[in-house]
Chains A and B, each alone.
Chain A
Amino acid sequence: MGSTEAAYHVLNILREAAGKCSEGFPHFIQIAIPLMIQARPTSIVMVNLTRNFLEEFIRLAKERGVDEAVGNVPKIISGIIERVEMVKECVATLGSRRITDGDVVLTHSYSSTILELFKKAYDRGIKFSVYITESRPIGEGKIAAAKISKLGIDTTLIVDSAVRFVMKRISKVFVSADAVAANGAVVNKVGTSAIALAAKEARVRLYVTAGTYKMGLETVFGELIEGVVLSDANLIIPKDRISELAGKVLVRAPLFDVTPPEYIDAIITEVGLIAPQAVPLLIKEVYGWPPKVPSIESLISEVRSL
């Protein structure tokens, strides 16, 4: 699941809870939100969208009372999702303009924005082909490969290890982001940083698609973005070979890695293409500087005192 989809999932849970039990909703928020954010600590999107939700919910509760605010939860959430969808659409449009005739594009993992970007370029009649990695562990690259090929685009699947081998024939790399830190570093599915390194070595340009809702505002104040590392042997070892290795070896499968800004040519946002190092400027434009971002904890305690 992409980071945006995961955040939508949280919003949908909130929407359902508000519908089912309107009286207990403020209490539900206090317990459920911190738990859901903990489940995916890299997800800046989840933090940012939840923050948007809480801010609007509190504003409404103060203006018109808690009951009416709870009644308006579906509307608040639809509004947030609509705005994000518009952002994604805009990012895909801007990004698709960077694909030109004859391009051989490499991508990694699964991203609905990247898929949309390819579709837009293809629909404009641009002739290009796509290489995509399996994106192990999980292997969501195979799902993306199937979808891209069904758009009619010439699609080639490779193993993650083959990225340097094919890089010479690649003209541009497009990847998405789970989060973007204040210094322009990009957190994305593990393997992204090795691709970026191979692209740099081969002087192939690398673009990252990321709406401003993926900017880690807390990172401005020194917060690090935490990664998830799984240790389930089944993620790597095929079923029929588990027994020969069980108990003998440890398995470590990080899901995310960090690509340094110097390996990124541009971040494509809904307000335009920027150099990764210009992320603070963008944050200033959108949120002010230093960004006025109430923490989730402070918003939740505000809910408590409503």
Chain B
Amino acid sequence: MTEFNINTLPREVRKIREDIRTMIIRGAGRIARAGAKALAIAAEEYRGNNVEDFISYMKEVAEYVKSARPTAVSLPNAISYVMTRLLRASPGSVEEAKQIVVSAAEEFIEYSKNAVKVIAELGAKRIENGDVIMTHCHSTAAVSVIVEAHNQGKVSKVYVKETRPKMQGLITAKALADAGLDVILIPDSSVRYFMKRVNKVVVGADTIAANGAVINKIGTSLVALAAKEARVRLYVAAETYKFSPQTVIGELVPIEVRDPREIVEDEWLKANPQVKVYNPVFDVTPPEYIDAIITEKGIIPPQAAILILMEEYGLSISDVLSREQVEFKYEELRE
């Protein structure tokens, strides 16, 4: 078997991984689709005729792509969607194996795009006439719900939080305004100030844990707390591939801490070397602050997250444990 070398991977595969890592490709859905696409490209460009070699090559590629963002669960889920289909089949030739990878990737991408449409339809039913909505960060699923409800004439206006440090609220604000909604952009600090005027909060999710806790952009849990206090309903719009199978076996979802320079400029850091700048990117919203999670498989209470995980990822913990991505995890733990 030939040694795996990252530099021999197709340029496009390396570019996708780099773009995910540097957040040029961002948003859990987009990351997942890009990951699946990277596998398809890697398979198509593979030169060789030994099936065993191809499979171990694909495993390496899968690990390489997955390592781009350690916390985005949609990425390993997309990868394992493709990889399980490859590993379950016993392809007789490299050509056949390549075909399995390519069609599984296409299938996932198609499924993912369709999921957002279904979420929009289901979620819009939860919006009532004249509702004032608040949202945080940028989520394609959440935006789709709000736009669909707007197309049905239900939405009065939307408060969009700026979402420091990377200001993803601006992307949401533009998308919603382009769809014809009345958008009011507000600073993150004013979340409680405006909550009294809001009827529903709709946010996306990065990862959903087995207990229904939602990991999403920093600030989400504060929005949820303020909504709970004001008795405003909060919905999380999320495709099922954002549910994390690892959490079923007790893994904690790691919270990514990013560069201080996302918050302050380099000159400021140099002028104030004693100040630490702490930049956690995600926070955890407890299930009791969430009214429902809107998935393409239906609207569920967060506490029923395990139902989605059982349906999507096999039936028992032992099944989950036997899954390859978990084995990899365990190796990491042993190290």
Contact = CB atoms under 8 A, between A and B. Distances in A.
A186 to B, nearest CB: 13
A81 interface: no
Contacts of A166: 278
Contact of A146 (B160, B165, B222, B275): B275
Given A163-B222, A198-B225, A257-B192, A134 B263 contact: yes
B274 A155 contact: yes
Interface stretch (B116-124, B183-191, B295-303, B319-327): B183-191
A263 B275 CA distance: 29
A159 B166 CA distance: 11
Contact of A142 (B164, B192, B268): B268
A241 B170 contact: yes
Contacts of B271: 146
A253 interface: yes
Chain A, interface size category, equals 35 or more
Secondary structure at the B interface, as helix, strand, loop or mixed, is mixed
Contacts of A236: 162, 185-187
Given A158-B278, A165-B280, A252-B184, A133 B189 contact: yes
Contacts of B191: 194
Interface string A181-221: 00000000111011001100100000000000000000000
B263 A159 contact: yes
Given A198-B225, A245-B173, A159 B164 contact: yes
Interface string A136-154: 1100001001100110001
B163 A145 contact: no
B23 interface: no
B275 A253 contact: no
A193 B226 CA distance: 10
Contact of A194 (B165, B174, B226): B226
B163 A161 contact: yes
A252 B185 contact: yes
B7 interface: no
B88 interface: no
A201 B229 CA distance: 10
Contact of B185 (A145, A156, A244, A249): A249
Contact of A156 (B164, B178, B277): B277
Given A150-B274, A248-B174, A249-B160, A161 B186 contact: no
A253 B226 CA distance: 18
A162 B185 contact: no
Contacts of B184: 249-252
A252 B278 contact: no
Given A198-B225, A245-B174, A254 B167 contact: no
13 contacts: A136-B164, A155-B274, A157-B278, A158-B277, A160-B164, A161-B217, A164-B225, A194-B226, A244-B170, A249-B177, A250-B185, A252-B184, A252-B190
Given A134-B263, A193-B192, A245-B170, 11 more contacts: A146-B275, A160-B187, A161-B163, A190-B193, A197-B192, A197-B229, A236-B162, A236-B187, A249-B183, A252-B185, A253-B186
Interface of A: 131, 133-137, 142, 145-146, 149-150, 154-166, 189-191, 193-194, 197-198, 201, 233, 235-238, 241, 244-245, 248-254, 257
Interface of B: 160-165, 167, 170, 173-174, 177-178, 182-194, 217-219, 221-222, 225-226, 229, 263-264, 268, 271-272, 274-280, 283
